[in-house]
Amino acid sequence: MLVVEGLSHDYGKRRVLEAASLRVRPGEILCLLGPSGCGKTTLLRLVAGLEAVQTGRVLIDGVDVTRSPPEKRGIGLVFQDFALFPHLSVLDNVAFGIAGDRARAVEMLRRLGMEDYAAAYPHTLSGGQQQRVALARALAPQPRVMLLDEPFSGLDTGLRARLRDDTLHLLKLSGAATILVTHDPEEAMFMGDRIAVMQDGRIVQAGPPEELYLRPANAFVAAFFGEVNRIATRVEGGAARTPLGPLDANGIAEGSAVEVLVRPEALVLSIAEDGAARVLAARMLGRTSLVHLELAGETPLHLHARMPGDFLPPEGSRVSIRLDRRRAYVFPTEAA
């Protein structure tokens, strides 16, 4: 078990991390998700011992390691830039942290499909191959905790997908408590048993991927997991009034300004000559299509709808809209 309690951190007069707390069980992958500058890498470095903790503490298996040096924490580290030793072969890179146990190093390379490159040097490898070697080196000592900082961000799309899949299964097999830092919500949902979303140095919501996607705590979380249609309105009669119909205001005070966020897949369209919305454009996006709509009113409302398959109504045609209310969220404007 990795436990982080109340970590706060300042760089000079700037607070970059505020009272961050989390727990990661053995064999669990927790993804720290958020935009650049939100504090996720600082949190990772504090857990790793690469930065001195100012406030709070870090425990591994019940032992306080807050003041312990990185090499005493039993942590495996994987960085975006691979950090391999250029003067050592692939095999020697992996064996470096396990007292030269070459048999163990060969086994780790085999698991990652890199045994044929054991004698090669890092500069002769592709980015994906170097990252596999870095992962093998980090896992070879059988660490209790694994920390990965944007490990796939420098790779092309196809290679990234393959390496994500391999890494997921290896981490699960290792049984290590894992924190993976990413700014990519799709990657976090693919890799994480749980996700902790960070905003301005704070963890604003943590939970399983489906919980964060379907029941976001605020507008920031809702929008971070994909495109949303935004509608500014007010609460009247206990509901947020929108051109798509009233939505439960969830106890927000009468008369309050609110922002309604509607996911594109929440708009279910049907061709209808007397439909309320006019089609501006429709584009095929592989398994789904994206339809641009204009909903008439005192102020015309521009909306995006995502439909399955090849639903491509002609430009200028009319469609009716049915709203899936489970994918529409109401938040106070101040929280947006």
Mean pLDDT of 44-71: 95
Same domain, residue pair 244 and 187: no
Same domain, residue pair 199 and 254: no
pLDDT at 220: 94
pLDDT in tens, 11-47: 999 999 999 999 999 999 999 999 999 999 999 999 9
Structure tokens that stand for 59 in this block: 């425990």
**Helix ranges, the chain (H):** 40-48, 90-95, 102-111, 127-139, 157-174, 185-191, 209-214, 219-224
Give CA angle at 76 (70, 80), nearest 5°.
100
Same domain, residue pair 323 and 189: no
Same domain, residue pair 302 and 159: no
Same domain, residue pair 32 and 141: yes
Same domain, residue pair 264 and 172: no
Same domain, residue pair 113 and 131: yes
pLDDT at 189: 96
Mean pLDDT of 251-270: 94
pLDDT at 335: 47
Mean pLDDT of 192-211: 96
Same domain, residue pair 52 and 168: yes
Chosen domain end from 221, 253, 285: 221
Domain with 176 in it: what CATH number? Answer: 3.40.50.300
Q: Are 16 and 200 in contact (CB under 8 A)?
A: no
Burial 207-245 (b: 16+ CB within 10 A, else e): eebeebbeebbbbbbbbbbeebbebebebeeebbbbbbe
- Chain mean pLDDT for the chain: 93
* Confidence tier at 155 by pLDDT (50, 70, 90): confident
Q: Which amino acid belongs to residue 6?
A: G
Domain extent at residue 172: 2-221
pLDDT in tens, 161-201: 889 999 999 999 999 999 999 999 999 999 999 999 999 99
Q: Give Rg (Cα) of the chain.
A: 24
Chosen domain end from 194, 221, 248: 221
* Number of separate domains in the chain: 2
Same domain, residue pair 90 and 238: no
pLDDT in tens, 284-307: 998 999 999 999 877 889 999 999
Q: Does the structure show a pLDDT above 60 at 336?
A: no
Q: Does the structure show a pLDDT above 50 at 260?
A: yes
pLDDT at 334: 66
Chosen domain end from 206, 221, 236: 221
Same domain, residue pair 50 and 101: yes
Q: Does the structure show a pLDDT above 60 at 239?
A: yes
pLDDT in tens, 110-142: 999 899 999 999 999 988 899 999 999 999 999
Same domain, residue pair 193 and 316: no
Chain-centre distance for alpha carbon 50: 23
Same domain, residue pair 203 and 307: no
Q: Round to the nearest angstrom and report the end-to-end CA distance of the chain.
A: 35
pLDDT in tens, 264-285: 999 999 999 999 999 999 999 9
